[in-house]
Amino acid sequence: QVQLVDSGGGLVQAGGSLRLSCAASGLTITYYTMGWFRQAPGKEREFVAAVPWRGGRIYYADSVKGRFTISRDNAKNTVYLQMNSLKPEDTAVYYCAARDAFSSVSSQEYDYWGQGTQVTVSS
C-alpha cells in the first residue's frame, strides 16, 4: 500500500524558512516524479515544484522561483521542500504527490497524495 506522509509545516513570520518532508512507503521515489502542491482557503490546488523521475529539469511555479527548493533523498525515500523568504501569500496546506511518469504541473495527473501539512506565514 502506497503512503506519502507530509510533515514540517507550522507557523512562521514573513521572511522565515521551513522545510517540508514527504516520506514515502510502498513505492520507490527513484521511479516516480515527485511534486509539491498547495491549496489556500477558497482557492484551487496549485503546482509548486516537481523533481522528475529520471533526472533532468526541475520545475517551479513562478511565484516560488528563487525562494523554494525541491530535493529528493533516494536512500531515505523522502522528498523535501525547502522554503525560504516566506511570504503571507505562501500560506496554504502543502501536499506531496507522486506520478509514475514524467513531470507534470497538473494535479490531476498525479497518482498518489500525502495528507497535507499546514503552512501559515504571518505578516
Convert the pLDDT of each residue in 57-104 to its tens digit: 899 999 999 999 999 999 999 999 999 999 999 999 999 999 998 888
Convert the pLDDT of each residue in 20-52 to its tens digit: 999 999 999 999 999 999 999 999 999 999 999
Contact criterion met (CB below 8 Å) for 9 and 18: yes
pLDDT of res. 103: 84
pLDDT of res. 29: 94
pLDDT confidence band for 53 (50 / 70 / 90)? confident
Average pLDDT rounded to a whole number, residues 101-115: 92
**Does residue 56 surpass a pLDDT of 90?**
no
pLDDT of res. 3: 97
pLDDT of res. 90: 98
**Does residue 55 surpass a pLDDT of 80?**
no
pLDDT of res. 101: 83
